[in-house]
Structure 1
């Protein structure tokens, strides 16, 4: 009888956890659909009505997903990063750039997933360190600057994550404003400079990495350079 009660209680807790995770993804999806337009965020609208964002982040505080559940873990923390970037901007809005907020990425700790963690540590310790071969993270983590690839109007979900990572990477690397071809020279985002190690694995160089996702391949002998990162706020205008 005792064993039956324990099994029932465990199933009850598991069902409750599953519902919380499903609710997080569904509410996050609705939030981004309502507040993202053409890759830009309606910060002023969210500032006026922050209730839904706060509700999602309150829910996310207690969600714990094992990194062994790879796609769910990755999707949760990608969404969590993007949501907390928006929360950080809203808490300081109006602001012209995330860099105007002291310690925005590396000092301020966010309450999510049962831990207190900075945005940099979500990116570097939870995602990049645990999944070191997944360079496509750089095209879905959005830092609130126009230099970042655009934020999508929906949530990243475990069942769609592979396709979403691929799509966003292809969109960025085929965008002439992100990969700038100037004759024999190719100018790329400073993301490729800051995270060079991610794009030069398995003997590849940056151009070889980029060409995996491009329709029109770059000249493999082109000279590579980096254009300045635009930290202007990615706000709806």
Structure 2
């Protein structure tokens, strides 16, 4: 009986500690994004002047373990880490005009986060797309610091609202005339190169237009000719 009691106490304390750590991370991340993001852009200059808050948040992730069986917590955790790590990578090299100005920004630079030393590409492709059937909505919430990306939001992604946030950001992008450029008269549509690079993600249940029309208010003609406009890698910084 004593052994059972001690075991139950240990499980309770572990679970309670995990919940406290994740709650603290999500709340701190939410406050950070609210303070430094506006209209889809990041105030890198202000963050560069004092990186303590960002450093503390990222360091705290190494004391947190998330399990993919808790899908919403796991996804929200790594989406936020990705966006925070992108900001950290830019701030570390600021001023820069584009993330591509930093050699190996996505595929070589390793970030010490979530108990791992990992690249941004690893987070996107191995921990998120690779674990969750390449959910195409990830492409509308993982923000690469370029203006061609869907806009970063002034809030953290949260486990209890994640699905709604994923849907919301997907709808915003796919109803934006700058992101999806439609010529109804000629039945032509220009798509972001994101939809070219990750074509297989958007063709899981049809083609790209089928996916777009699932979220778009003004539907695109099914037989529209598809082309892709150049990606804008210019930095998404506030003026």
Classify the TM-score, shorter chain.
over 0.9
- 1:133 Cα deviation from its structure 2 partner: 4.8
- 1:7 Cα deviation from its structure 2 partner: 2.2
Note the 1:60-209 alignment, pairs <5 A.
60-182=61-183, 183-202=186-205, 204-209=206-211
Contact kept, 8 Å, 1:62 with 1:112, in 2: the verdict is no
Contact kept, 8 Å, 2:137 with 2:170, in 1: the verdict is yes
Gaps of 5+ in 2: none
Q: Deviations over 1:181-222 (max 9, x none)?
A: 1232100000000000000013x0111110100000001111
State the number of aligned residues.
236
Q: Deviations over 1:154-196 (max 9, x none)?
A: 0000000010000000000000000001232100000000000
Distance in 2 (alpha carbons) for counterparts of 1:122 and 1:9: 31
Provide the secondary structure at the position in 2 that maps to 1:107.
Answer: coil
Distance in 1 (alpha carbons) for counterparts of 2:14 and 2:207: 47
Contact kept, 8 Å, 1:40 with 1:236, in 2: the verdict is yes
- 1:235 pairs with one of 220, 234, 237: 237
- 1:223 Cα deviation from its structure 2 partner: 0.4
Contact kept, 8 Å, 2:66 with 2:74, in 1: the verdict is yes
Provide the secondary structure at the position in 2 that maps to 1:234.
Answer: coil
Provide the secondary structure at the position in 1 that maps to 2:145.
Answer: coil
Distance in 1 (alpha carbons) for counterparts of 2:95 and 2:5: 56
Provide the secondary structure at the position in 2 that maps to 1:45.
Answer: helix
Distance in 1 (alpha carbons) for counterparts of 2:50 and 2:155: 19
Distance in 2 (alpha carbons) for counterparts of 1:186 and 1:6: 60
TM-score (norm 2): 0.97
Distance in 1 (alpha carbons) for counterparts of 2:100 and 2:165: 28
TM-score (norm 1): 0.97
Gaps of 5+ in 1: none
